Structures are given as C-alpha cells and as structure tokens.
Structure 1
Amino acid sequence: MDLSSQNRRQVLQTLGIATGAALLSNTVSAKNAVLKAGPAFKYALNMSTIRGHRLGFIKELEVAAKAGFTSVEIWIDIFQTYLKNGGTTAEAKKIINGLGLTIENAIGFAKWIADDDTTRKAALKQLQTEMDQLAQIDCHRVAAPPFGATGLPLLNLDILADRYHAILKMGEQSGVIPMVEMWGGSENLKTISQVLYVAAASGNKNALVLLDSFHIYKGGSSVESLALVNKNAIKVFHVNDYPAGISPQKISEPDRIYTGDGVTPLKQILQLIKNPDQPVVLSLEVFNESYYKQDALTVAKTGLAKMKAVTAGI
C-alpha cells in the first residue's frame, strides 16, 4: 500500500468519525428539540358553552376548573353582574388564582367600530372601563367584534383600521389588547381577508385577530387563506363544529356543536394555525340549546375531551 492510499484511508476514517459524530449530534439535537417542544395548543372554555345554564360568574369558573380546564374566556356582562352584586376584582382574582385558571380573553360588545361618532365615543369610554376591570383580574385580551356595524353597508377598511388602532393604543395603557374579531354573519369583518387587512393596516405591532371555525364557514372564507395569517397574530382561536347540510346563509349560532361531531375541516384548520413558537389557545365556543339542558359539568368535560381528541397528532 503506498503512502497516498494510506493517507486516503486515514482521511476517510476521520471523515467517517466526524460524520458519525455529526449525525449523532443532529439526532441528539432533534431529540432534545422534541423534548423541549411544548404542547401545540392550550384548551379553554368559552363561557358561552355553559352560558345558558345561568350559573353566574364564580360558578362558571368552578365548573371549568372541575372539568379540567386551566384556561377560560369570560363574558364581560356576566363579570359585571358579579361586580354589581357586590363582588370585587380583588376577590375575583383570588378565586381565579385559587382555581388555577388563566383568563385568556373576555367577550365584550363595545361598539368601537360604529360609524356614528356619538355612539363610538360612548363605546370607547365603555371599553376603557372594561379594560381596566379586566386588567385587575390578569385578563390581558378582549374581543373587538364588529358589533355596531353588523347591518351597516361595507365600511371603508382603512377607516376601520384607524378605529382599531385607536383601541389598540387604549389597550397599551391598560395592558389589555383588543383582538379584532371576525363575525361571519356581519356585513363588516365577516371574512378572514377583511379582518387581516384591518389588523395589518392598523400599523400596530400588537394587533391580533380572533378567528372562529364556525365564522370561517358562515362568512364564506376559504380555510386555505389561514396560511396567509401571521401565526403570531393568533393567540386565541374559537373552535367548534357544524353539521352537514346547512348552507352558510342559513346556519346560525345554535347550530354549533362539539368539535369532531360535524363536518368542519378542523384538522386542516389546526395544522394551519399551529405556531411552533408558542401554544395557541383553542377556546370552545358553542351556543347549543340542547347542551344547555344537560348538566353543565358534563358539557364542559365532554367539550374538553372532544377538543383533545381532535387535536391528537397535530
């Protein structure tokens, strides 16, 4: 064997060791990445799901916690009824912490989008009060739906973006960020494209969108368009299902059902909104009259189990 052949063998052996080490290192890194990766989703109960049981603010929280939820979405009107009846934000915060819950978002109906100046001015005052109350219970997001413009002709989206920017600035002061919400049955903010435009055109880095599997169908949006939404713009996503055979024009809120019980392309939706950097809060939002006739705890437990089933493997 000549020297050059021996040298080549040594080089190949060295390369073999180096390559093996690199492969091993990559394998270990991949395994560590898997180990470090957290869950893709967090599960929340939107209190609409048990709203018809008329339990009251504290009892709703207790049911959610007992069912196994660690996150919830509250409704501002129920929360304010609790406050008007003698409850305090300090007391509520203590109870929430004791139950091990996080208030991920609050559902409110301030008419921030209204085209009438007087109405909108009153709505901004209302929203500021609500934001201040929510901040005191560590709720740092609030829904900003097109309530007040659902039946109006299509408004200029640049104007809506300016109005959304205004409430985002309010939110920065209180630490509660409004999420511009899509309503498929509204004339305004009914599609993913409209909501996405308003959020982007607001020119505010804190802009967030609140989307919903039901409203994607109701408003005629394409599921594929979710791929165009920046994943960091989705912190909370409303999940539910709907049965076959009802057109978008005729389907209504009470038609919502548990995830996995209908024909919604939920697996596809979840794949598109999944964020590798942080878990997305999936919040079960249904308004089903038949569920309201059942035991609230049973409904909450069933909802959580079905959410986990539909997200399995994603």
Structure 2
Amino acid sequence: MTQSVSRRQTLAALTATVGTTLAPKSSEVLAAPTAQSPFTLCLNMSTIRGHKLGFVKELEVASKAGFRSVEIWIETLQTYLKNGASTADARKVLSDTGIKVENAIGFAPWIVDNDADRAKGLDQMKREMDMLAEVGCMRVATPPIGAQTPNSPKIDLYKAAERYRTILELSDKTKVIPQLELWGFSPNLSHLGEVMFVAIESGHPSARVLLDIYHLYKGGSGNTMLPLVGKSAIEGFHVNDYTADFTREKITDADRVFPGDGVAPIKDTLRLIKRSDKPIVLSLEVFNKAYYAQEAQTVANTAMAKMKAMVAGV
C-alpha cells in the first residue's frame, strides 16, 4: 500500500511538473492571432523618380505617405554611395524612416547571346547583389535587358533558362533572389508562358517571377492563365492601371496610371494571385509625366490612397 501510494504521488508530481513546463506562464500567453493581410503595399520609386529627389528624400517621402515597403532603383542607391555615403549609412536611413526595401530595379544584361556582354552583365549583377545584401534588400528585378529592343533577336528559351540558373546560383551566395521579369514590349520574355518556361527550366528552387498589370496587357497574356503560375512563384507583383484611350499595341510605359483610374482588371487579378501563407508585395510602378509635374509628397500620398482602395474587398 505504501509503495502504491508512493507511485501515485510520484506520477502526480511528474504530471504537475510536465504541465507546468508545457503551459505558458500568464505573462507569456500570446494574443489570439489576427488574420494576415494578403498584400503588402509598396512604392516603386519609379512613381516619384521624375522628381529627382535622391535616395534619402525618396525614402522620407514614401515614409511620410505611410509606406513601409519600397522598391528602389539601383542607380539611385549607387549615386548615394558615390557621393560619400556607405551601405551602413543607407541601413540607418532605412531604419530611421521605418522602411524595408523589398526589391531593387536593375539592368544587368544577363540574358544576351554575346558572351563578352553577358560576362560583363554577370559581373555587374554580382556586384549589385553584394551591395543590395549589405543594405538588406534580398530581391532584384531581372528583366530581359539587352534583348528588349524591336530589332533584338529571339533568344532560345532553353539558353535563357540556363542563363537564369547562372544568376540564381549567384544568389545562392548573396541570398539576393533575381526575380524574372516579364516585359510586354520586348521580343524576349514578353509572354507569361515564356517567363514560366524559363523559370521552370532553370531547375533552381529559388526561381521567382515578377509580373505586372500593364506588362501582362501589353504582351497580350492577360490574367486568365495566372492560376497556372503557382502562387509560390510570385512574391512581388507590379500594379498600375491603363485607360481605354490606348490599344495594347500603342500603349507605352509612360501611359500607366494609378490603380482605379483606368479599365484594367486589377481586383480580379489580385484575387487570382493572392496567397494564404504569406503576403504578396504589391508595388506601384508608374512613369507618368503628369505625376512628375505634381509635388512629390502629393503623388506618394495619392499612391497610398489608391492602393488602399485597390485592395479593399479583395
């Protein structure tokens, strides 16, 4: 009887101990999780690029408008660094403004057929990736630069996939992931199917695609086949709008307008790409001269208001 009681007491003590270990202390109880937004609102600095504000002022304007995520242009960052600043200075500015750099816009010619030009492009991309990693930007846009003019020859898609894998292997070291960007006006990578072919045939797990409301329209792909892309392939997405004044053949980069000011199927597109596991970065990319003629803060404030309306109800 004594042994039985002793065993019962021992088991009770162990149970109490385990329960105490596993149960959170009252001060550690977490608040009930809230629904995560499917989108992160981001300002591509193209939207205020015509104001020529420079790296620091662009961030200050974006922050004041309420943006906590931006896409920077590599050239703007390089100018800032050439004028005497360091990547540590850039990180401090980002911290002070409460801004995260989600992606960078670069133009290294990684896809071209010319071996010498492509080697230079790879060297450029490696240097830019290293720089971006130092400021905390872990993505870089990789459009078909050098193969985008009307007289550019068509590049074999299998070769394009091999070349994309090469820059993805650079990212294995830098951790800055190249986002394969569709350009609707280009003879190369202008269609959704081409971009997906290159991404898939690269055979690299870090392959990602960067799509755009305007470029999907310009290239003729539209949004119908977006469900086949696979949501893990899209981490960032460029948003904008276009009016009925321009045909697909005639519209240009500069004709893009704020979301909601045109006829693009934006909300339908966002419903097709949104994911439940993590938010997609929606970056407003326009190059509108009418906006450049306005005060930069007004443009950024309007951008935020338009984007909030854009995602409402999606």
- The question of a shared fold, defined as TM-score above 0.5 by the shorter chain, is answered with yes
Partner Cα separation in structure 1 for residue 65 and residue 121 of structure 2: 35
Partner Cα separation in structure 1 for residue 190 and residue 34 of structure 2: 38
Deviation at 1:202, TM superposition (A): 0.5
- Which amino acid in structure 2 is aligned with residue 272 of structure 1? L
Identity of aligned residues (%): 54
Q: Which residue of 1 aligns with 2:4?
A: none
User: SS at 1:136's partner residue?
Assistant: helix
Residue 64 (structure 2) aligned to one of 60, 63, 66: 66
Residue 128 (structure 1) aligned to one of 108, 112, 126: 126
User: SS at 2:183's partner residue?
Assistant: coil
Deviation at 1:68, TM superposition (A): 0.2
Q: Which residue of 1 aligns with 2:12?
A: none
Partner Cα separation in structure 2 for residue 282 and residue 136 of structure 1: 23
Partner Cα separation in structure 1 for residue 119 and residue 218 of structure 2: 30
For 1:188-203, list aligned pairs within 5 A. Answer: 188-203=188-203
Q: Which residue of 1 aligns with 2:15?
A: none
For 1:230-245, list aligned pairs within 5 A. Answer: 230-245=230-245
Partner Cα separation in structure 1 for residue 109 and residue 277 of structure 2: 33
Deviation at 1:37, TM superposition (A): 2.4
Q: Which residue of 1 aligns with 2:174?
A: 174
Q: Which residue of 2 aligns with 1:215?
A: 215
Q: Which runs of 4+ in 1 moved over 2 A?
A: 34-37
CA deviations on 1:91-117 (whole Å, 9 max, x unpaired) are 000110121111000000000011100
Residue 83 (structure 1) aligned to one of 81, 85, 91: 81
Partner Cα separation in structure 1 for residue 312 and residue 157 of structure 2: 38
Deviation at 1:154, TM superposition (A): 1.9
- Larger deviation, residues 141-150 vs 153-162: 153-162
User: SS at 2:135's partner residue?
Assistant: coil
CA deviations on 1:73-105 (whole Å, 9 max, x unpaired) are 000001101111111100000110121111000
Deviation at 1:310, TM superposition (A): 1.3
Partner Cα separation in structure 1 for residue 218 and residue 232 of structure 2: 24
User: SS at 1:198's partner residue?
Assistant: helix
Matched, 1:92 2:116: no
Taking structure 1 as the reference length, what is the TM-score of the superposition? 0.88
User: SS at 1:223's partner residue?
Assistant: coil
Matched, 1:138 2:175: no
Q: Which residue of 1 aligns with 2:258?
A: 258
Partner Cα separation in structure 2 for residue 77 and residue 198 of structure 1: 27
Deviation at 1:155, TM superposition (A): 1.3
Partner Cα separation in structure 1 for residue 297 and residue 245 of structure 2: 30
Q: Which runs of 5+ in 1 are unaligned?
A: 1-33
Partner Cα separation in structure 2 for residue 35 and residue 168 of structure 1: 35
Equivalent pairs counted in the alignment come to: 281
- Which amino acid in structure 2 is aligned with residue 253 of structure 1? D
User: SS at 2:225's partner residue?
Assistant: helix
Partner Cα separation in structure 2 for residue 222 and residue 73 of structure 1: 24
Q: Which runs of 5+ in 2 are unaligned?
A: 1-31
Pairwise CA RMSD:
1.0
- Which amino acid in structure 1 is aligned with residue 271 of structure 2? Q
User: SS at 1:254's partner residue?
Assistant: helix
- Which amino acid in structure 1 is aligned with residue 126 of structure 2? Q
- Which amino acid in structure 1 is aligned with residue 220 of structure 2? G
User: SS at 2:205's partner residue?
Assistant: coil
Partner Cα separation in structure 1 for residue 95 and residue 169 of structure 2: 28
For 1:18-57, list aligned pairs within 5 A. Answer: 36-57=34-55
- Which amino acid in structure 1 is aligned with residue 96 of structure 2? G
Partner Cα separation in structure 1 for residue 203 and residue 313 of structure 2: 36
Partner Cα separation in structure 1 for residue 33 and residue 128 of structure 2: 40
Q: Which residue of 2 aligns with 1:303?
A: 303
